[in-house]
Structure 1
Amino acid sequence: MKKQSISLYITITIIFLISNLLTAQEFKGIATYQTKTTLKLDNFGGRQLSEQQKKQMMERMKSSLEKTYTLTFTQSESMYKEDEKLEVATGGRGRGFMFGGGGSSGPVYKNIKEKQLTQEEEFLGKQFLIQDSLKPIQWKMGSESKQIGQYLCFKATASKPVEGFDWQRNRLGSDDENKDAEKATDSTSANKEVEEKEETPREIEIVAWYTPQLAVSQGPAEYWGLPGLILELSADNTTMLCTKIIINPREVEEIKPLSKGKVVTKEEYNEIMTTKMKEMREMYRQRRNN
């Protein structure tokens, strides 16, 4: 308890001193994040694959599971987007899907002062512009600390329900789904079990490491609300790690709200995505039964 009190006292002191320094000048920064998503192929109907086949499949999916993002931020605004890179021709385009609750595939704009969130998402060939309020995250502050690069970071945790289509729970043709279907005596009871399972959103645990040395309440994707920049964050099966920070760069891209796509709220977008994915899953089941 004594060590925790000392740590909290040091944190508050650092925040106070740095905040005073930051208010004396216009503060801007650019942070680079490496993200990695782990995917268990067994959960997606891959138990019949050999280890070599799984390895080859994971290698092909590497570009979708390992990405680089840039967070451009001030004390009140931020823009988080994937770094552009040349893609190998695959006969199609699009950002792909995020497996789990660890972030977004499209750019995210946050305005802390106005409590505003704007996000662009491409889904099944359609462009959406998500406009919503910036919802607070109920962080639990901890006294545990670690060094990330030159910055002293402190741990904070939170939990939240998965929004939209839950890839971990609703998998197209997964082994778990097939087992559930075998256990059910008829299609009616099978559908009832699935519906009951989907009614209660799955909770995911979030672990964040923030540094009071950079006293901005910003972070990657939709995450924010801590007394310092979030340098590392784990949510569900995705980890985001800051690998580079530039403070007050000579040239920085202007931060402004996004504007491309059909305007929807977060709730509306989640409903559209969930409905379409359920339709695709039902089509898969029918083909499988036939």
Structure 2
Amino acid sequence: MRNLLLLFFGVLSLAVSAQNNEGTVLYKQTVYMRREIQANAPAGVDPNMARNIPESVTNEFNLNFTAKVSLYKEIASADDDSQGGPGGGGGMRFMMRRFNPPIYKDLANNRQVEEMDLFGKQFLVDDIIPTRAWKVTGQQKKILDYPCISATVTDSLMGRARVITAWFAPTIPVAFGPQGYGGLPGMILEIDMDGGRSVITAAEVKLQKPDEASIKAPEKGKKVTRAEYQKIQVEKMKEMREAGGGNWQGGGGRQIIIRN
């Protein structure tokens, strides 16, 4: 009898895991723009320009996933073209353009594809899935009633180190998460970037098989590796600076454009 019970609970556990490894997560990302600008603005930019920009901007994303593949994509809204405050003094004007590329992951083939737009040119960054040296802290909290555990890692943004804190749910046994983050033993339901400058939190979790058409790799753009794209990006930014342009890409998936 004891062996039968163990077998029963083992099968039940596998069934629950199977039900929890595919579905859709709705995320809301809030970027605190003034903090980002104050932290990342290049030398020579007026520090008071942050007063002309909204305190924060919030976007919504869907992550459709199975046990092996996922697609993270922004949900379009009516005001996608631009967001921002009125122009500042001296004839300056500020705009914030969305720059939130769809991110596709294929765990079986260790492949990640991002559809990037760089100054009007489209690229497909097709490369291996980046690895991160997560450190599980053991801290716990609940997100949408899912018990979550925290993990941290340090990366860099525009040459500045920042700490990323992730909260993952072991009861959703997939190594995915928002904005390309993953590699943990459970779905990441929250990401805190750099002490709260940008926060992505799950607002809804639906554990049901998503439509296969909702998890297709992006196809538009010139295919390049991550290293090739970064080289092109550096060259383009250098060209802009030499031409006297005021463009710079801020954190949190935005491009801040300064016009005189």
Alpha-carbon distance between aligned partners in 1 of 2:47 and 2:125, rounded to the nearest angstrom = 37
Q: Is the 8 A contact 2:105 2:113 kept in 1?
A: yes
Q: SS where residue 284 of structure 1 aligns?
A: coil
Q: SS where residue 248 of structure 1 aligns?
A: coil
Letter in 2 for 1:211: A
Letter in 2 for 1:140: K
Q: CA deviation at 1:278?
A: 2.1
Change (3 A) 1:24 1:148: closer
Change (3 A) 1:20 1:73: same
Letter in 2 for 1:129: L
Q: CA deviation at 1:24?
A: 5.0
What is the match of residue 129 of structure 1? 124
Residue 258 in 1 paired to residue 258 in 2?
Answer: no
What is the match of residue 278 of structure 1? 238
From 72, 75, 84, the counterpart of 1:83: 75
- Matched pairs, number: 216
Greater fraction helix: 1
Alpha-carbon distance between aligned partners in 1 of 2:147 and 2:47, rounded to the nearest angstrom = 42
Alpha-carbon distance between aligned partners in 2 of 1:114 and 1:18, rounded to the nearest angstrom = 29
Letter in 1 for 2:30: K
- Percent identity among equivalent residues? 30
Instruction: Provide Cα deviations, 1:14-34, integer angstroms capped at 9, x if missing partner.
Output: xx9986225656942100111
Alpha-carbon distance between aligned partners in 2 of 1:70 and 1:204, rounded to the nearest angstrom = 25
Letter in 1 for 2:63: L
Q: SS where residue 77 of structure 2 aligns?
A: coil
What is the match of residue 205 of structure 2? 245
RMSD over aligned Cα, in angstroms?
A: 2.8
Q: CA deviation at 1:257?
A: 1.8
Instruction: Provide Cα deviations, 1:236-258, integer angstroms capped at 9, x if missing partner.
Output: 33211111111115756441222
With the length of structure 1 as denominator, give the TM-score of the two structures.
0.66
Aligned ranges 1:127-166 → 2 under 5 Å: 127-162=122-157, 166=158
Instruction: Provide Cα deviations, 1:106-131, integer angstroms capped at 9, x if missing partner.
Output: 10000112110011011111111110
Alpha-carbon distance between aligned partners in 2 of 1:58 and 1:255, rounded to the nearest angstrom = 33
What is the match of residue 93 of structure 2? none
Instruction: Provide Cα deviations, 1:217-262, integer angstroms capped at 9, x if missing partner.
Output: 1111211111110000122332111111111157564412221101
Alpha-carbon distance between aligned partners in 2 of 1:47 and 1:271, rounded to the nearest angstrom = 29
What is the match of residue 257 of structure 2? none
Change (3 A) 1:274 1:150: same
Greater fraction strand: 2
Q: SS where residue 226 of structure 1 aligns?
A: coil
What is the match of residue 176 of structure 1? none
Change (3 A) 1:68 1:215: same
Letter in 1 for 2:142: Q
Residue 96 in 1 paired to residue 90 in 2?
Answer: no
Q: Is the 8 A contact 1:160 1:205 kept in 2?
A: yes
Change (3 A) 1:86 1:80: same
Alpha-carbon distance between aligned partners in 2 of 1:158 and 1:144, rounded to the nearest angstrom = 14
Q: Is the 8 A contact 2:115 2:123 kept in 1?
A: yes
Q: Is the 8 A contact 2:174 2:185 kept in 1?
A: yes
The gaps in structure 2 that reach 5 residues or longer are: 1-9, 83-95, 247-260
Change (3 A) 1:74 1:18: farther
What is the match of residue 195 of structure 1? none
Q: CA deviation at 1:138?
A: 1.1
With the length of structure 2 as denominator, give the TM-score of the two structures.
0.73
